[in-house]
Structure 1
Amino acid sequence: MQTQDRVTVNQVAAAIAASQKYLLSIQNPAGYWWAELESNVTITAEAVLLHKIWGTESTRPLHKVETYLRAQQRQHGGWELFYGDGGELSTSVEAYMALKLLGVPATDPAMLKAKAFILQRGGISKTRIFTKLHLALIGCYDWRGIPSLPPWIMLLPNAFPVNIYEMSSWARSSTVPLLIVCDSKPVFQIDPAITVDELYAEGRDRVQWELPRSGNWTDLFITLDQGFKLAESLNFVPFRDESIKAAEKWIIERQEATGDWGGIIPAMLNSLLALRCLGYDPADPIVERGLKAVDNFAIETADSYCVQPCVSPVWDTAWAIRALVDSGFAPDDPAVVQAGEWLINKQILDYGDWNVKNRQGKPGAWAFEFDNRFYPDVDDSAVVVMALHQAKLPNEKLKQAAIARGLNWIASMQCKPGGWAAFDLDNDQEWLNAVPYGDLKAMIDPNTADVTARVLEMLGACNLSIDTQNFEKAIAYILREQEPEGCWFGRWGVNYIYGTSGVLSALALVAPLTQKNSIEKGAAWLVGCQNPDGGWGETCRSYDDPSLKGQGTSTASQTAWALIGLIAAGEATNKFALDAIEKGISYLLTTQKPDGTWFEADFTGTGFPSHFYLKYHLYQQYFPLIALGRYRSVLKTRD
């Protein structure tokens, strides 16, 4: 490979050094990395609602939330689901609600702009179910328009076709407490009381308090809901007391010592709402601990306060280790060693909810957050195994034993179609996404190409193996998932660029010869969607409009993903897309800031496709470093 006019080896080395220096500067003294996980404003708005309901608002700096919400409002008057989306109705209604709860009058210019935006899009009646539920808690919506959640669902046996363990881990940890909330249908008195009647486009007195019909088979669920509501009105709810007690017990058993539930704010907020419905006191240790856990997800500045949906220290730390080693750090560098030992201490050796369907597996996985022993996940575990493999630790025997436990757990989580899901085994009853309550279409956790690719990459990168038949099933699953254009869907990152990069990285390591055609087709797709500036980008709208696959403003993280995939494909086939790679590297070099960082405003992480997106603030740092490091390695090898 010849050095290029646009990019020199020295330029790459300088960019790598600056990026490494920045990463080291933000490493926590305990050894881990952790940066902000940004989402839309609903998480913070719902935290305001929670504290108003509990009467704990005066003990938190909630007045600073007003500054945050005003800063997040866009010129059109609304608030966004993801950066640059033009504003989203439900997000805007919840922001408006929070500002009213904070004492901002409806006559405020920002509120008037928000009101116009909201009414133009149909008002409250067109919002999602969860927005309506939050409004119902304070009397701003009628419970008649909320789907019923019969508490006896809690008692359905695990062997029954419908039970709480057929829901995804995040849906389950949020739904169980809502069985209690929806049973009691509370209207909490807050001070001062508010109304949002001005946000009903048709007028509050003309609202139809009913669930919308779709005109297809899913309307069966509307009929069932009407039956549930009739039973409630007649006070005929089978096993009600036993169900509520079972849900309460389930919630308490799953609270971490740190107060968290499920490691995510929706589960934490809903669990605290359930305890409020059950009459718990704010001073109860369980409540106090839970409220403190919400505080731990908050980011406070001199004049602003917001709440993250989750925290990502394990994920960030594993990727930071990989970035440093891939870019030239010694495996036994003190920063790498300290981070590796921190990760080993975060290995979860308890049985969690995954064990309900996976009776064979033994503990040994990692979660995303500081503490989440009930919900470790495959993606984190695979990345941690790769990071530990790259590190050289003082106690190598312990490291190898930890890796072996992680591998065995991951292997036991393979789904019937051949792939891997994030948190559960065979959690794939698609019809659950059609229930009225599930309008976020995220009720299940099926196997996906990106998580499956991560497992296969782990096997190849770490020279590990699983049963041959299961390995072949995984390869077959990946091949079935390839789109006609050559790309792969990205469930947990935006979107096809993310999925394609992951699969190419995996196939290049575990099947470079047998899957050469698939690799070349995927690489060609990446080359074909490169932007004129040399970078890559993909809009979150590609989840709704497949014609937008691989299209969007260039970002550092998505450019890095494309480069990682192309470099892997080139190493596998010895056919490097040199021009595309060089232009991509040039994009990273020219967009790097003097302090070694990159910045992107766009959200490139995915919570729920089409409904919830994330911006990992370290994605724009460690993925470019990985791409630059692997590019330099290729240069050295070929020279």
Structure 2
Amino acid sequence: MDMRKLEKEIFRRCNELLSLQKPDGTWRFCFENSLITDAYMLILLRNIEYRNEKLIKQITNRILSQQSEDGLWRVYPDEEPANLSATIQAYTALLYSQHFKSNDDKLQSAKQFIIQNGGLKEADLLTKVFLAMNGLYEWPDVPIDPAILFSLPMTAPINQYDISSYARAHFAPVLLMADEKKKLTSKYTPDFSDLYIGENEGYHLEEWVNLFSLLNIRDSYLHLKKEKILSYIQHHIEPDGTLLSYSMTTIFMIYGLLTAGYELNSTVIQNALSGLLKMFCETDGTLHLQNSPSTTWDTSLILYTLLEAGVPIHNSAIIKGAQFLLIQQHTKYGDWSVHNPHAAPGGWGFSIGNTIHPDIDDTQAALRTIAHFYQTNTVYQTSYDRGLNWLLSMQNDDGGWAAFEKNTNRFLIGNLPIKHAKDALIDPSTPDLTGRTIEFLGKFHGLNHHHHSVKKAVNWLWENQEQEGSWYGRWGVCYLYGTWAAITGLIACGVSPQNKRIQKAKRWLLSIQNEDGGWGESCESDKKRRFVGLRQSTPSQTAWALNALTVISDQPTAEMDLAAKWLMNHKKTDYPTGAGLPGAFYINYHSYNKIWPLLVLVNYYKKFVR
């Protein structure tokens, strides 16, 4: 390894990041997710007869740009076969665009693929629900009005706070429509009769029926009104007009409110549309609707990385960024306080407009920067203490940390006969979030594995290590992400690198290194819940693996040098390494190619050179 070359590369990358900062102190990169947001936005705009053909054409071009050579759509490049739900979403949106007809050559492969794979009834639950909202699929008959879920008291066998915050936000608007089987149609609504395969098409929402037929809800609750849902929605609208800062939930909210009697020109609908339009980003010459712009997340990670690289805290870019983080710290009580009633607000959210939906990962990431200013300013001291107290208070009883809420992991909900129940309906502890949290606690707050909270987390991580030595990462792809987070967390809080379980993880990492020196993991791992390698190495996954090896090792090895050289020579990939929902939703963070390689090159240099 040419260490002089490494120094220059670190310096170059730091300057590049500093040059990309916005005047408000943020860094803004595209959060490029699966095409579902683009498709649903286009359909919404057509249904409300939104008069902006330029925007419609731009979204149409975006969807077309994601079409594979075989005429189908996928949620990650190496997905085989193609994704039925994504293909239905794209096909539907392109018909709504009016730029294509069902018999156009551009759509023939998609149409035949949908028919050959069972038609609309074989799509995933969210796709069928959205089709039903648009009058393209029959709502199912359910044994009770599912809207009752939002009216049940905390003493009921199940209530709205037993499902995850993100599922709750998606369900609420849909439930306004489901019981009365409402739909939003327009002159743009296409004819889908040729895609209905078999009889009783509308009864293929069994997963929806399963959710509400197993709740054992007493009749005495059934008089409660849907005003509870409207109240939920109204109390979860962010200042920018969106529902919890997600574009998907906001689109659903507009559907729900319009069919509940709200006028299109009402303030709440117009504010929601305004919020959605601000969530577009430009990428590869197209316009893409981000589900949740990652401004706060990216800014926190970049500030932390630059500080680790030695950029001084009095640098103007660092000061502006830290001031932005101060403003973004939450002061309101959100749904998280239902299961954690004694803690004061103090977390951070993912997006710049997020004020009531903080999460664990963004909080620990922001605190890494705030910690550097602790001794310089009482404002930062107060901020840090509030954030730390909130973070510690959110630890689950099992010892791990979840994403958004505490102890929202009921066995009953996670084991409902619904696809993705464990991934979407509950918010359990995960190795990636637990590992990153204890890495922060160990590195920045001096807590070790003898501290009560950290000891519980360490034990949880040991209990959830995979047989071959890896850990599963919920919010990144996937076993590389989880293993990196777990290892760096364990070692930061005092676990010996020679621990046999750490060494087992190290052997696993080395066994899956690509010949070019990098690492790559397919999104297929997320679906199959086992490691599936990607022959194409990616910068972020290579950085995660090398970072884990760096904290384990006393000296650099040939494998590590090869990985460092690969990172210095490979700057970008379009492969998604962020995860949202297995087999359905992945993210290409445009920031990740710049953040994680720089961070690990800095760590590598500081440990083995300086």
Query: Do the structures match in fold with TM over 0.5?
Result: yes
**C-alpha offsets along residues 82-120 of structure 1, whole Å, 9 cap, x if unaligned?**
223142000100110000001111121111121122223
Instruction: Report the residue type matching 2:242 in the other structure.
Output: D
Q: Distance in 2 between matches of 1:381 and 1:337?
A: 18
How far the C-alpha of 1:436 sits from its partner, in A, is 6.3
Contact 1:147–1:211 (Cα < 8 Å) also in 2: no
TM-score scaled by length of structure 1? 0.89
The yes-or-no answer on 1:559 pairing with 2:552 is: no
Q: Distance in 2 between matches of 1:545 and 1:528?
A: 19
Greater mean deviation of Cα atoms: 97-106 or 510-519: 510-519
How far the C-alpha of 1:265 sits from its partner, in A, is 1.8
Contact 2:157–2:216 (Cα < 8 Å) also in 1: no
Q: Distance in 1 between matches of 2:430 and 2:9?
A: 34
Unaligned runs of 5+ in 1: 1-6, 592-597
The yes-or-no answer on 1:586 pairing with 2:559 is: no
For 1:337-486, list aligned pairs within 5 A. 337-390=319-372, 392=373, 396-435=377-416, 439=420, 441-465=423-447, 468-486=451-469
How far the C-alpha of 1:131 sits from its partner, in A, is 1.3
Q: Work out which of the residue numbers 255, 263, 269 in structure 1 matches 2:237.
A: 255
Instruction: Report the residue type matching 2:474 in the other structure.
Output: R
- 2:249 is matched with which residue? 267
- 1:112 is matched with which residue? 108
Instruction: Find the residue that maps to 1:613 and give its secondary structure.
Output: strand
- 1:3 is matched with which residue? none
- 1:511 is matched with which residue? 494
The yes-or-no answer on 1:605 pairing with 2:542 is: no
Residues 303 and 398 (structure 1 numbering): CA distance in 2 closer, same or farther, change over 3 Å?
closer
C-alpha RMSD of the superposition: 2.7
What is the aligned-residue identity percentage?
Answer: 28
Instruction: Report the residue type matching 2:97 in the other structure.
Output: L
Instruction: Report the residue type matching 1:387 in the other structure.
Output: T
How far the C-alpha of 1:295 sits from its partner, in A, is 0.8
Q: Distance in 2 between matches of 1:428 and 1:78?
A: 36
Instruction: Report the residue type matching 1:610 in the other structure.
Output: G
Residues 59 and 160 (structure 1 numbering): CA distance in 2 closer, same or farther, change over 3 Å?
farther
How far the C-alpha of 1:548 sits from its partner, in A, is 2.8
Contact 2:142–2:212 (Cα < 8 Å) also in 1: no
Q: Distance in 2 between matches of 1:212 and 1:550?
A: 34
Instruction: Find the residue that maps to 2:580 and give its secondary structure.
Output: strand
- 2:515 is matched with which residue? 532
Q: Distance in 2 between matches of 1:260 and 1:55?
A: 20
Q: Distance in 2 between matches of 1:477 and 1:439?
A: 23
Q: Work out which of the residue numbers 464, 472, 479 in structure 2 matches 1:489.
A: 472
Residues 317 and 509 (structure 1 numbering): CA distance in 2 closer, same or farther, change over 3 Å?
same
- 1:209 is matched with which residue? 202
Instruction: Report the residue type matching 1:422 in the other structure.
Output: A
Q: Work out which of the residue numbers 192, 195, 199 in structure 1 matches 2:195.
A: 199
Instruction: Report the residue type matching 1:608 in the other structure.
Output: L
How far the C-alpha of 1:51 sits from its partner, in A, is 2.0
Residues 263 and 483 (structure 1 numbering): CA distance in 2 closer, same or farther, change over 3 Å?
same
Instruction: Report the residue type matching 1:221 in the other structure.
Output: N
Instruction: Find the residue that maps to 1:29 and give its secondary structure.
Output: coil
Higher relative contact order (CA 8 A, sep 6+): 1
Q: Work out which of the residue numbers 589, 594, 600 in structure 2 matches 1:616.
A: 589
Residue correspondences, number: 606
TM-score scaled by length of structure 2? 0.93
Instruction: Find the residue that maps to 2:586 and give its secondary structure.
Output: strand
Q: Work out which of the residue numbers 245, 248, 267 in structure 2 matches 1:285.
A: 267
Q: Distance in 1 between matches of 2:103 and 2:73?
A: 18
**C-alpha offsets along residues 17-69 of structure 1, whole Å, 9 cap, x if unaligned?**
22122212211111111211111111111111222333325487112222111
Residues 219 and 406 (structure 1 numbering): CA distance in 2 closer, same or farther, change over 3 Å?
closer
Unaligned runs of 5+ in 2: none
Residues 148 and 78 (structure 1 numbering): CA distance in 2 closer, same or farther, change over 3 Å?
farther
Contact 1:341–1:393 (Cα < 8 Å) also in 2: no
Instruction: Find the residue that maps to 1:585 and give its secondary structure.
Output: helix
Contact 2:142–2:213 (Cα < 8 Å) also in 1: no
Contact 1:78–1:118 (Cα < 8 Å) also in 2: no
Contact 1:457–1:505 (Cα < 8 Å) also in 2: yes
- 1:626 is matched with which residue? 599
Q: Distance in 2 between matches of 1:342 and 1:276?
A: 36
The yes-or-no answer on 1:95 pairing with 2:95 is: no
- 1:143 is matched with which residue? 139
- 1:221 is matched with which residue? 210
How far the C-alpha of 1:337 sits from its partner, in A, is 1.5
Instruction: Find the residue that maps to 1:56 and give its secondary structure.
Output: coil
Instruction: Report the residue type matching 2:191 in the other structure.
Output: T
Residues 14 and 410 (structure 1 numbering): CA distance in 2 closer, same or farther, change over 3 Å?
same
Q: Distance in 2 between matches of 1:612 and 1:586?
A: 32
Greater mean deviation of Cα atoms: 317-326 or 439-448: 439-448
The yes-or-no answer on 1:185 pairing with 2:168 is: no
- 2:128 is matched with which residue? 132
Contact 2:46–2:97 (Cα < 8 Å) also in 1: no
Contact 1:178–1:270 (Cα < 8 Å) also in 2: yes
Q: Distance in 2 between matches of 1:577 and 1:528?
A: 17
